[in-house]
Amino acid sequence: MLRIGDIKLHNGLILAPLAGITDSSFRKICKSFGVELVFTEMVSSEGIKRKTGRTIKYLYFNEVERPIGIQIFGSNAESMKEAARIIETDFHPDVIDINLGCPVKKVTKTGAGAALLKDLRKLEGIVKGVVSSVNIPVSAKIRLGWDKNNSIKVSKLLEDCGISFLIVHARRAKDGYNIKADWSVFERIKRNITIPLVANGDIEKPDDATYLLNEIGVDAIMIGRGAIGRPWVFGKMKDFIKHGRCSAEPTLHERIKVFLRQIELMEESIDEERTVRRIKKQISYYLKGIPETKNKTHEILTTKRLDKMVSLISGLISNTYIAGSRRLYPV
């Protein structure tokens, strides 16, 4: 069991922050399948400092989502400190995470995200400032480096800055997602730090989880893209970690049921127009690998009315699912 402050992780399963994906509805769905710690989408420290409505909305969460972390990004030490104080005082999450790994140009061009891996003096000032400004655990999420691997040096620096645990995405910033994550780095990093290490990158299957936890010896695993349209992956991993057996893949009926529940949860917190716009990002993931749904997917993606979208998605069951069968689909 991994303990971080008051947080207890029995299986070491964490949901990564994903822009446009890890809203409250998706976090709740993943919680229902056994993920133990979830994170919000990354939030701008400047927006938090100015308390702009568009930014602040990302910070709200429901108590059933705990334990939960809020991830912030920015390049100004004072803004990051102020944002962390506001988050702790007004929202009371369990963790604040500092994004030091986002490779997206609109983030790095401001000097934030993975760009800070090029300026370790500035990175150190930001992280020390955030850690000193709050009383809850602070984590940091990094890539292996900008264009070269300096992850050992950065990991030691971050530990010295006082973070409670480290999350490492096993690619360099310049790699984007174009190469396979290099899991070999986790063992080397683990040997050089004493704080808990969380592995991230290309973790998709239950045996990926057990390999990293049991063979490599990381303290927890964080799953991002591998959970989009597949939130049940946490349940499968939990079963495999605890019992050494993998539960069956969900049927189409079961997939659609989960998807409709996520839409319902999303609509409870935002309006219909935004629900339609946001949920479309996940439709193809939920239906991936199911040949029978291809003809309907385009129609679902082009509708602008939520009731029609729900009707079309529900219709996939009656059109392709044989009642009483246990046909399994690849995920």
The residues that are catalytic are: 102
Structure tokens at 281: 């990002």
Asked whether the beta carbons of 300 and 319 are under 8 A apart, the reply is no
Burial class (CB in 10 A: 0-12, 13-18, 19+), 138: buried
Structure tokens at 256: 């659609």
181, 180, 187, 243: which is closest to 215 by C-alpha? 187
The residue written with tokens 């029609």 in the block is 308
Cα→Cα distances 54→245, 257, 274, Å: 44, 30, 13
122, 111, 180, 191: which is closest to 151 by C-alpha? 191
State the Rg of the chain over Cα: 20
Q: Which residues pair with 255 in a beta bridge?
A: none
Q: How many CB atoms lie within 10 A of CB 268?
A: 12
